[in-house]
Amino acid sequence: MSVYLGIDYGTKRMGLAWADELRIALPLGMVAGTGCARCLDDLAEVVRERSVTEFVIGYPLHMDGAVGKRAKEVDQFSKKLSERFGLPVRKVDERLTTLAAEEALAHSAKGTVEKDGKVDAVAASLILQDFLEGGKVI
C-alpha cells in the first residue's frame, strides 16, 4: 500500500498533503520551511505518523519549461529527503498551483486568504492530486 506525502516546497513554510490507497489528496497543514533547521525533523514526525512510503514535491519550472533557481533548490531538497528517509521522491510540474490554491481559498472564504499555511496545504494537495491522476513527473 502506497501512502503519499505531497509537499509544496518553500523556505519559510512548506504545505503538506496526504493520500493513501483511495488516491484522494487531503491538505494536512504546514511545517517550517527549509530556512529552518527543524524542517526535516518536522517532516520525520509526519512520515512516522502517516506511515508515508513516497514523497511528491512540486517542481517550480518557469512558464517556458526552463529550470530556474527555485527548481534547483527543490532538486537539492529532494536529495536531502531521499538521503534522510530512503523513500522515493517524485517531482511534479507545479506551474500555477499556488495561484489555483489562492483562488480556490478566496472563493471558499468569501474573498479572504490568510497566510496561515492554508494556501500552502491546498497547493500541496493540488500537486499531489495531479500526481495521483497521472500528472507529469519530472
137 assigned to some structural domain: no
27 assigned to some structural domain: yes
Say what the pLDDT of residue 98 is.
56
Which residue did the predictor score with more confidence, 118 or 76? 76
17 assigned to some structural domain: yes
52 assigned to some structural domain: yes
Look at the chain and report how many structural domains it folds into. 1
Tens of pLDDT, residues 66-106: 888 999 999 999 999 999 999 999 999 887 565 555 566 55
Which residue did the predictor score with more confidence, 107 or 63? 63
138 assigned to some structural domain: no
CATH of residue 34's domain is: 3.30.420.140
Domain range holding 100? 4-132
87 assigned to some structural domain: yes
Is 114 a residue whose pLDDT tops 60? Answer: no
- How is the beta sheet containing 89-93 ordered, strand by strand? 26-32, 13-19, 4-8, 54-59, 89-93
For residues 113 and 102, the answer to whether their CB atoms sit within 8 Å is yes
Tens of pLDDT, residues 8-44: 999 999 999 999 999 999 999 999 998 888 999 999 9
Give the three cell numbers for residue 135: 500528472
For residues 83 and 121, the answer to whether their CB atoms sit within 8 Å is no
Q: What is the mean pLDDT of residues 42-52?
A: 97
pTM: 0.85
35 assigned to some structural domain: yes
Which range of 6-10, 65-69, 114-118 scores highest in mean pLDDT? It is 6-10
Say what the pLDDT of residue 47 is.
97
